[in-house]
Amino acid sequence: MVAMVDSETPSDVAAGPDPQPGAARPRSPDRQPPARPVSRGLLAIVVAAIAVAVAAVWMDGQRRESGLRGEVAQRLAAVEAAGIALGRVQGEQVTDLRDAQAKITLLEERLAESQTQQAALEALYRDLAPSRDEIALSEIEQVLLLASQQLQLAGNVPSALAALQLADAKLQRLDRPQSVTLRRALGRDIDALKATPYVDVAGLSLKLDQAIASVDTLTLARDERIPPPVPEPSADAELPLWRRLLRDAWADLRQLVRIEVADRPMAPLVPPTQSYFLRENLRLRLLSARIALLNRDEASFRADLAAADSWVRQYFDLRTKPVQTLQATLKQAAAAPTPGSVPDLSRSLEALRALKLAQERAAGRAAAK
Q: Which residue type, as a one-letter code, is found at position 30?
A: D
| pLDDT of 92 over the 90 cut | no
How much is the average pLDDT of 224-235? 51
∠ CA(89), CA(94), CA(95), 5° rounding?
A: 95
Tell me: the pLDDT tens digits for 231-266?
A: 555 555 567 877 878 888 887 777 776 665 555 555
128 pLDDT more than 80? no
For 343, phi then psi, to 5°, come to -70, 150
Contact 208, 289 (CB under 8 A): yes
Query: Across all residues in the chain, what is the average pLDDT?
Result: 77
- Residue 209's contacts (CB-CB under 8 Å, 6 or more residues apart) are 290
In this structure, what is the dihedral angle of CA atoms 213, 214, 216, 221, given to the nearest 10 degrees?
A: -150
Q: Which of 152-156, 319-323, 333-337 is predicted least confidently?
A: 152-156
The predicted model gives 187-193 an average pLDDT of 89
* Model pLDDT, residue 294: 79
State yes or no: pLDDT of 315 exceeds 50. yes
Which is nearest to 284 in space by CA: 212, 202, 210? 212
Residue 325: per-residue pLDDT: 92
Task: Look at 18 and 319; give whichever has higher pLDDT.
Answer: 319
Question: Which range is least confidently modeled, 8-12, 114-118, 182-186?
Answer: 8-12
In this model, does residue 19 exceed pLDDT 50? Answer: no
pLDDT at position 308, please?
92
Q: Quote the pLDDT of residue 2.
A: 38
DSSP tag of 339: -
| pLDDT for residue 196 | 80
Lowest mean pLDDT among 77-91, 229-243, 299-313: 229-243
Rounded Cα–Cα distance for residues 68 and 76 (Å): 12
Q: Is the pLDDT of residue 17 over 60?
A: no
pLDDT of 7 higher than 80: no
pLDDT above 60 (res 73): yes
* pLDDT (tens digit per residue) in 30-72: 455 554 555 777 888 888 888 888 888 888 788 888 888 888 8
Q: Could you tell me if 267 and 315 are in contact, meaning their C-beta atoms sit under 8 angstroms apart?
A: yes
